[in-house]
Amino acid sequence: MNLLLFLILFPFVMALLTFCARNEKLRSLVVMIGCVAIMVADIIFCVQAVRAGAGINPLRWAGSETHVYHIFEHVIIDVELLLFLLIAFLSIKYQKYYCLLLAAAGTFPVLWHDFFGTHVTAPLPAVMIDNLTIIMCLVVGIVGGIICIYAIGYLHDYHHHHTDVANRSWYFQALLFVFIGAMFGLVTADSLSWIFFFWEITSTVSFLLIGYTRSEEAINNSFRALWMNLLGGCGFTVTIIYCARFYNVSNLSHLVRMGGMTSGILIPAAMLSFAALTKSAQMPFCKWLLGAMVAPTPSSALLHSATMVKAGVYLLLRIAPLMTGNVVGLMVTSIGGFTFFAASLLAISASDGKKVLAYSTVSNLGLITACAGVGAAEASWAGILLLIFHAVSKSLMFLGVGSIENATGSRDIEDMHGLIVKMPRMAYIMTVGICGMFLAPFGMLVAKWAALKSYIDSNNVVLVIFLVFGSATTMFYWGKWLGKIFVILHQSETLRDTTPKTAWFSMYTLTGLVIILCMTFPMIGSRIVQPYLRQSFYATISNVISPDDIRVMLMMLIMIAILPVLTEILVRTRKEKTTMSYMAGVNAGDDRHFIDAFGGVRPSYLSNWYMEKWFGEKRILSPMLLCSAVALASFMIVAVAGTLA
């Protein structure tokens, strides 16, 4: 219990220290020490939890700890009021009054319930530590800590290149710590009120991070993220009051165990799912995550991979048993499957590296969402493995793109041609990140295979179609990016390495984690994930990965490890032989220009095909958002009205 309290409270203490440390060198030291302490404590906590047989019984507040529980209850009420006042002030300042109304709609009913509502008489398990909690704690602590370390050097370079942005690194880094502390609280809490409290903290902090630059675009995007997440928070509010009023239930694990045994269970399931869909940026709520790209890269990495969006899919995976064979499960699978396919189409038309990563994030979150909505153990196995690999690989990709942008001044994929020559180490890191997202033996592809099998077993033909075509488009945009990195033009020259050491440390660590996960995910699946599923679904699933499959994947992993070495040897030992590109006999002599039919000299450029006429944002994004909004509203009406009828 002491370590758990440390993981929740210590990041808030570090946020205060970081906020007060205005000297850059002192602040860097504070951040480094804080991140190392969090990661070490996180690993020790998870190891102790596994050895203690976590997942069998919830960790309950008892005896002297009851006093701590009541202190937390009072702190939660006070902080909720402070969050509301902050949102109210900023909403009035920027004349975004709809955010003020949504904040009031989500906060005041919960406060009224705390003081005057129905209170649960049964013992309260305030926190729940099981194998899914352990997985999420490792994702939050390890990946989140690495991102905070990366931010040390990144922010120095960022403000060197963006002199128009006021340097408030102390503020930015403090918010990162608050985010980590809130996520530790969210994934370990079992009380619905506690989860909602930390849920709202992540929504508020993401709003502040997105608006960091204070530009008009950043402010508009930050308020879009705020109102969408506050709308989801209203669903959480309804769940808290409804469960206490009708079921005498105030904790999530008890609600999940009730399953289909209680009439009306679809209402809290639908409301929690709605909240999770907004947090995980599923259509029609994906635009808040796309708008988050205006913030500096560490914010994007934290929001897209390790914390914010993972809270949504974590909640869906937690309540997956509630969605077995009902309209809520159909709603979640339909929205998730459609989002996976639609976002992957939109990623094809993007050349901005961060935008491709954003659409890819929305797409992969859609796949995890669909897995949770199936409400089956095998599908949840795939969803949890997808969550793990996506968190590590996608954070690596975001940090890589941020470093490339600081070094070259561009994050456009077209400007990354010849990266294998310009920045060889960065090219290897990006290659591992891209391969981790869509190639075997990396776990994303294996988990997709498990998801496909579970969709077929559930007789959901629509989901199978979404997965097949979404995976095809996924391979297309990752393949384009990977090819661009390895194409070598005559003008490609090695660039001076300006990447800070803290950034290299973070990226090397994440690269190593991707490789380690490739070798250990069969063990993670059998020893960590499957015991959790047996406990949640009261069903045993067979091993998804056979020993023969593991041997083949190990051979492929060895080949992937050898490939960059061979490429480096070829690059370093190649003999220079410059030849002009053949352009039907009209090469202008410098390999970059040709003579047109009128005798004029025109520039030539080798570029990927983005098919904006078919899959561009302006063409298909609005219709997709409209279709998903209508579908979501229809499902919600059916779920709620059908229960009340």
CA–CA dist 370, 464 (Å, integer): 11
Per-residue confidence at 141, pLDDT binned at 50, 70, 90?
A: very high
Assess if residue 579 is contained within a domain: no
Question: Which of 22-26, 163-167, 575-579 shows the lowest mean pLDDT across its residues?
Answer: 575-579
Q: Work out the percent of the chain whose per-residue pLDDT is above 70.
A: 84
Contact criterion met (CB below 8 Å) for 318 and 362 = no
Amino acid at 575: K
Predicted confidence at residue 64, as pLDDT, reads 45
Find, among 259, 274, 260, the residue nearest to 228 by Cα. 274
Look up residue 544 and give its DSSP letter: S
What is the arithmetic mean of pLDDT over 19-26? Answer: 91
Find, among 250, 254, 230, 228, the residue nearest to 240 by Cα. 250
User: Could you tell me how many helices (H) and strands (E) the chain has, helices first?
Assistant: 26, 2
Question: Which of 83-97, 116-130, 348-362 shows the lowest mean pLDDT across its residues?
Answer: 116-130
Predicted confidence at residue 50, as pLDDT, reads 85
Assess if residue 582 is contained within a domain: no
What is the arithmetic mean of pLDDT over 344-349? Answer: 91
- Phi-psi group of 118: left, alpha or beta (phi > 0 → left; psi -120 to 50 → alpha; rest → beta): beta
Find, among 109, 127, 130, 107, the residue nearest to 118 by Cα. 109
199-226 burial code (b ≥16 CB/10 A, e <16): bbbbbbbbbbbbbbbeeeebbbbbbbbb
Assess if residue 591 is contained within a domain: no
Number of domains in the chain: 1
Using one digit for the tens of pLDDT, what is the confidence trace for 195-212? 999 999 999 999 999 999
Assess if residue 595 is contained within a domain: no
The overall average pLDDT reported for the chain is 84
What HEC string does 592-610 produce?
A: CEEECCCCCEEECCCCCCC
Look up residue 259 and give its DSSP letter: G
Find, among 437, 289, 414, 277, the residue nearest to 355 by Cα. 289
What HEC string does 50-86 produce?
A: HHCCCCCCCCCCCCCHHHHHHHHHHHHHHHHHHHHHH
Predicted confidence at residue 446, as pLDDT, reads 74
Residue 477 or 562, more confident: 477
Find, among 380, 362, 381, the residue nearest to 319 by Cα. 380
pLDDT over 80 (residue 249): yes
Amino acid at 371: C
Using one digit for the tens of pLDDT, what is the confidence trace for 607-634? 777 788 888 888 899 999 999 999 999 9
Predicted confidence at residue 62, as pLDDT, reads 41
* Alpha helices (runs of H) in 94-191, residue ranges in sequence order: 97-116, 131-138, 144-161, 169-188
pLDDT over 70 (residue 534): yes
Predicted confidence at residue 293, as pLDDT, reads 86
Interhelix angle 266-279/327-348, nearest 10 degrees: 10
**Highest mean pLDDT range out of 20-29, 416-425, 496-505?**
20-29
Using one digit for the tens of pLDDT, what is the confidence trace for 566-592? 666 766 665 555 565 656 556 666 666
pLDDT over 90 (residue 562): no
| 211 token code pair | 């608006």
What is the arithmetic mean of pLDDT over 386-408? Answer: 88
Residue with tokens 């020490």: 33
pLDDT over 60 (residue 337): yes
Interhelix angle 424-438/443-457, nearest 10 degrees: 10
Contact criterion met (CB below 8 Å) for 11 and 178 = yes
User: What are the phi and psi torsion angles at 296 (to 5°)?
Assistant: -55, 155
Strands, DSSP E only, in 535-627? 593-595, 601-603
Q: Work out the percent of the chain whose per-residue pLDDT is above 90.
A: 40
Assess if residue 601 is contained within a domain: no
Predicted confidence at residue 442, as pLDDT, reads 64
Q: What's the burial of 534, exposed, middle or buried (CB within 10 Å: 0-12/13-18/19+)?
A: middle
pLDDT over 70 (residue 546): no
What is the arithmetic mean of pLDDT over 503-518? Answer: 89
- What one-character-per-residue DSSP string does 196-213 give? HHHHHHHHHHHHHHHTTT
Assess if residue 598 is contained within a domain: no
Range of the domain at 282: 2-574+608-644
Amino acid at 14: M
Using one digit for the tens of pLDDT, what is the confidence trace for 272-322? 999 999 999 999 999 999 888 888 888 888 877 667 778 899 999 999 999
| 535 token code pair | 């406990």
pLDDT over 70 (residue 4): yes
Contact criterion met (CB below 8 Å) for 32 and 500 = no
| 381 token code pair | 């196995």
Predicted confidence at residue 57, as pLDDT, reads 40
Using one digit for the tens of pLDDT, what is the confidence trace for 95-111? 999 999 999 999 999 88
Per-residue confidence at 645, pLDDT binned at 50, 70, 90?
A: low
pLDDT over 60 (residue 115): yes
CA–CA dist 191, 58 (Å, integer): 11
Using one digit for the tens of pLDDT, what is the confidence trace for 120-137? 544 456 788 889 999 999
Contact criterion met (CB below 8 Å) for 265 and 362 = no
